[in-house]
Structures are given as structure tokens and as C-alpha cells.
A and B are shown apart, each in its own frame.
Chain A
């Protein structure tokens, strides 16, 4: 039986989503995409710098990948909506990662504004993937607002601290009937595997790959880890046995 991840009506060939920021050069990105197997690639929108020779990152991303612009830079829902519309008008599809951050200390997302932006953009036909702080109530509202997936953070952006929000992410996986994609904070392939074993639908990794000594190789490692984690989840891990034979059983009074 096929184990497929479908988001926004599109069947994805990989459960690893790749961010393109912080790389030593844009030229290395196509090789990382290849080594990691990632099929959904995030990009950001920025003003051009008139004084320098800017490169268009799009020319480094293979045509068969799905482009997912993010709304980074947005501090509230209105700014996120504006960026999303610009991105779509630029002709790269209707996927959008909503990232609303007005916290420059930790880069933690604003769940409330994210819900607002999701409501507006989902109604306009976008395939919305909101990045959020794992909170069950928020996730429910995002689902009601029309999100196509929910992307809770594992740890604050760039910290590489792993799945610190494990318990909360697990609750989202158990309670929300949408793909849960752990995004941000995964620092090692083993952490990506952990998220997948927990039951996450996919993970999004950027910093850990881009800032490693060998991004192409690290990309491959993450790709393999996501495959391993998913396979482990599907295989059903063995029982962790927690109980002992008590000398004075609690059920002794039953007499049987």
C-alpha cells in the first residue's frame, strides 16, 4: 500500500521540505535539493538592492519542485496577506507559508495574527501552510480557517535545539486532522527522524542543512532520516514495557 502525503491536492514525493536561506551560495541549492530529495522549497520575498547585482534564486530551483514562498518580514496579518498576494502574482503557484513574526529576540510566531492571515488567504484560494507555536486551540482555529497543513515549531528558528516541543506536537498529531509538519529548530537528522517517528507528516529544515560544513551531504542525511523515521512510524515500534510483577498485587482483593 502506498504511503503518500497529499497537500493542497498535490501528492508530494518527499516528506522533507527545504528552506533556502543562509546557504553559502545560491548555486549550491540545486545540488542540495537533489541530495535531499526535497520537493517543496521555501523562498522569501525581499526588496531588490539597486546598488548590487542581485541574483534570482528561482533560477536555481528545478521546475518540478513546488515553490512555497513565505511571508517572512510580515509583522501582522495584513502584511502577510500583502506578501502572499504579491508572491502569487509573481506566478509561482498558490502555496504560501504564513510566517508572522513581530518578535525579533526569539523569532517566535504570532499565532493570533497567523490565524487571521490564514482566514483571509484560504478564502482567496491559497494553499496555506501556517507556521505556528504549537498550541492546540490555535491549530483547531487554523484548521477551521482553511489551512492545508499546520506547521508547529520544534524549537525557535535557527537554534538547532531539536524537538523541544515534543509533547505539544504529539498532541497536535493526535488531535488535528491535517498534516502536521514540524518546522524550525530541528538541528540533526536524528531529530528529524524523531519527529517522523512521532507521527509528523513531514518536516521543514533550513538552518541545519545550510550552515553545516557540507550542505549537500547534510541534505542527504536529512533526507534519509526522514525516510527512516517515517518507515519506523509505519512499522509500529515495539512496546516499552513499564510494569513489574508486584509482590502485593493491587488486584489481590479480587481473589482470582
Chain B
């Protein structure tokens, strides 16, 4: 079995009709229920549920507090290479974009690691563009070996790998995996990924499952909001997370909801996801899966991020750069996307404290 089969169950579902048949009573009932099912989750993403966003916020806040406490986990990404063989219409690293391509040497990786680690951060997310030539598995493993000296938890966000390759990374010290399907709508996916291995929708959608089987402790998935109707994309993200959690009970599943930001290239998002929509998605996830982690990236504005502390988000990035290097190395290459919240780690710490929450730098240590 693969999540793809679950996707097929809902691929031709009439989302509009479903939303139009919802009643206020039904929505209120769902918000108050202790455990909700897939369609009830879908109803929370509807325009009708939008009317009850304050109730959803209250419940989301309560559940997040119960299951996570007054904490926010902090991490930062490190881009070690931006070589890419794919032609993804919406991405700054698109092979047809004329940008400076760069790959860090291992010494440079160490320089970056040292600076990042000095800010207190202990959880790092390692990213590369998709290029088996430039960012080979061996190169990634070498980077991990260096990062292990400075960080207690290393996650990777790279191109889809084979299960054995994920196992190798787990053995090398990687405990977390992030992969965004970008867009779950298979047709739209085909239109946005013009060339390159990333064109293979199935291979990508099954990657999180391969990571779970390989023993990754945390698995983070998501869709890039804006590429297709956000209600559907959030829905598929949610049931994908549920599928993984049910099948791999010992993995820690989390979701991200990156919203499209201006980037290099002429692509404009098909759908606008406004702040209220965005927040509704967070609440719907929290009510559907009370223990799922929800990550908020620096794509979002500072004030907006501030307001979301305590409402459902459990993990935030800080002091981010989406350029290759970008912390120690001064040679600027273009970032994958423009960052909105450019605050450094100290400032994010202060923000979190000001909300009565505790920033957590180190969640665990692999021994």
C-alpha cells in the first residue's frame, strides 16, 4: 500500500459540493468533538468553518498547550548546495534560472556550522538542490559528519532517495526528514515540474514513507501553498500525515505549510492564501491531529509569526538564510526564496519569552 492509493480515493472528490452542503451545526459539532475523521477535518477547511475561526483558535490553543506545553522548538536551515537538475516553474533554484550555482566545501560547511551553533541552535536542517552529481549521497553524508560535531539533531531536506539510502543517512546520524510534495494535485504537479527527476510524482509522494521505514525519527511533510486550491492541498497534507502516523506509530510526524513567496523567475502563484486562510489551516491540522508538530518558517512576516506563537505552531526557524552558506560565507548567491522574517536567533528568543513561552534549542540527543 502507498499513500498514493489514499490520494486516488479523493482525487476526484467533489470538494465544492461537499463544502456547500455543510451546516453551521455540523461545523460546531466537529470543533467540539474529541476526535475527528477525514471528512470532518475537510469541513474545518471550508469557508463555512472560516466563520468559526475564533472557536477553532481557542480549541487549537488548548490542544497545543496540553500536548506541547508552553514551548517552541527552534531550528535553522543550512543550504549547502543549490545545483539543481530540475525545471520547477516556481522555484528559485530552477535549472533554467540564471543564478550563481554554488556548493560548499566541507571546510565551508564547518565554518557555517560553527557560526550557527554559536547562536545556541542545536537542531539543523540540511538542504541541497536536486543534483545527484553535485550533491551526491556521499557529499551529504560528509556534511552530516561535520554537522554532528555541532548539532544534536540533524534533519535533511534533499531530493527523494531510495530506502537504503535513507538507512545510510540514519546510520550516519540523521534523525529527521523533511520533504514537501509541493502540490498534491497530480495534474498540476505535472504542469509545474517540466523536466528532471522531480517530474516523478509517485517517487516523491512515497519518499516520506521510505524515510519512515528506514527509521527516521521525525518526518515532516507539506505542500507549497499557492500552487493549487489551498483547501485541497491542506486536506491532502493532513491525510498524508495521518496515513504516516497510523502506519508508523513510532515516528514523530509534523507538517509545514510554506506559503509561496516572491522568488527568482516570473512564476506567480495560482491561488492567493490570505492570512485568515493560513491560520484556519493551522487550526484544522491541530484539531485533526492533536499531537502533530506544526512548523512555521521565515517565509512569514515577523508580526504574523509573533501572533501565531501559542495558537498551534510548535516549531519555528530562526536566523535563517536560504542562500548557499549565508552565515559565515560572504560570497552571495541567490536564495531559494526571499525571507520575510530576518530576525536573528536572539531576537526570536526574546519574542518567544515575551509570549510567556520557552524557546527550546535542544529537544534530544542521539546516543
Chain A residues close to B by CB (< 8 Å): 174, 238-243, 245-246, 249-251, 253-254, 256
How many A-B contacts if CB must be within 8 Å?
Answer: 40
Segment at the A interface, from B53-61, B109-117, B216-224, B338-346: B53-61
CB contact between B61 and one of A239, A245, A250, A256 (< 8 Å): that residue: A250
Nearest neighbor of A174 in chain B, beta-carbon distance? B35
Query: Do B59 and A243 have beta carbons less than 8 Å apart?
Result: yes
Could you list 6 A-B pairs, sorted by A, with CB under 8 Å?
A239-B29, A242-B32, A250-B58, A251-B54, A253-B303, A254-B279
- By the criterion of a CB under 8 Å from any partner CB, how many residues of chain B are at the interface? 21
B20 within 8 A of A: no
Once the chains are docked, how many angstroms separate the CA of A254 from the CA of B279? 9
Q: A240-B32, A245-B54, A254-B276 are in contact. List 9 more A-B contacts (CB 8 A).
A: A241-B28, A241-B32, A246-B58, A250-B54, A251-B57, A251-B279, A254-B275, A254-B279, A256-B276
How many angstroms from the CA of A174 to the CA of B290 in the assembled complex? 15
The complex places the Cα of A242 from the Cα of B311 at a distance, in Å, of 17
Chain B residue at minimum C-beta to C-beta distance from A167? B34
B107 interface residue, CB < 8 Å from A? no
Say yes or no: B32 contacts A239, CB within 8 Å: yes
Which residues in B have their C-beta under 8 angstroms from that of A246?
Answer: 54, 58
Contacts of A174 in B (CB 8 A): 35
* 8 A-B pairs closest in CB distance: A239-B29, A250-B57, A253-B307, A243-B55, A249-B54, A251-B57, A239-B32, A254-B276
Cα A250 to Cα B309 with chains together (Å):
11
Q: Chain A residues near B275 (CB, 8 Å)?
A: 254
* B307 contact set on A, CB distance < 8 A: 253
Which applies to chain A's interface (DSSP): helix, strand, loop or mixed? loop
Q: Is B31 an interface residue (CB 8 A)?
A: yes
B25 sits at the interface (CB 8 A): yes
Q: Which residue of A lies closest to B34 (CB)?
A: A170
The smallest beta-carbon distance between A143 and chain B, in angstroms, is 14
Q: How far is the CA of A74 from the CA of B311 in the complex (A)?
A: 52
**What's the least CB distance linking B292 to chain A, in Å?**
16
The smallest beta-carbon distance between A180 and chain B, in angstroms, is: 15
Of all chain B residues, the one with the shortest Cβ separation from A238 is B29
Contact string, B249-272, partner A, CB cutoff 8 A, digits 1/0?
A: 000000000000000000000000
Q: Using a CB–CB distance below 8 Å, which chain B residues touch chain A? A: 25, 28-29, 31-33, 35, 53-55, 57-59, 61, 275-276, 279, 303-304, 307, 311
Which interface residue of B35, B61, B304 has the most chain A CB atoms within 10 A? B35
Least CB distance from B250 to A in Å reads 11
With A249-B54, A251-B53 as known contacts, state yes or no: A243 contacts B276, CB within 8 Å: no
Question: In the assembly, what is the distance between CA of A249 and CA of B53, in Å?
Answer: 10
- A174, A249, A253: which has the most chain B beta carbons within 10 Å? A253
CB-CB under 8 A from B303, the residues of chain A are 253
Verify A243–B31 contact, CB threshold 8 A: yes
Q: Judging by beta carbons under 8 Å apart, are B53 and A243 in contact?
A: no
- B53 touching A254, Cβ below 8 Å: yes
- Using CB atoms, name the residue of chain A closest to B308: A253
B303 nearest CB neighbor, chain A only = A253
Name A250's closest neighbour in chain B (CB-CB): B57
Say whether B25 contacts A239, CB under 8 Å: yes
A241 and B304 CA atoms in complex are apart in Å by 29
The distance in angstroms between the C-alpha atoms of A240 and B32, with both chains bound, is: 7
Cα distance A134–B276 when bound, in Å?
41
C-alpha gap A249/B61 in the complex (Å): 12
Contact partners of A245 in chain B: CB under 8 A: 54
Task: Please give, as numbers and ranges, the residues of chain B lying within 8 Å of A242 by CB-CB distance.
Answer: 32, 59
| C-alpha spacing A255/B296, complex, angstroms | 21
Docked complex Cα distance between A242 and B53 (Å)? 14
Whole-angstrom CA separation of A240 from B30 in the bound complex: 10
Report the separation of the CA atoms of residues A245 and B57 in the bound assembly, to the nearest whole angstrom: 12
Task: Determine the chain A residues whose CB is within 8 A of the CB of B29 once the complex forms.
Answer: 238-239
Q: How far is the CB of B130 from chain A (nearest CB, A)?
A: 36
Q: How far is the CB of A119 from chain B (nearest CB, A)?
A: 21
- Give, as a whole number of angstroms, the nearest-CB distance from A244 to chain B: 8
State how many angstroms separate the Cβ of A185 from the closest Cβ of chain B: 22
- Report yes or no: B279 in contact with A243, Cβ–Cβ below 8 A: no
List the A residue with the shortest CB-CB distance to B311: A250
Identify the closest chain B residue to A236 (Cβ).
B29
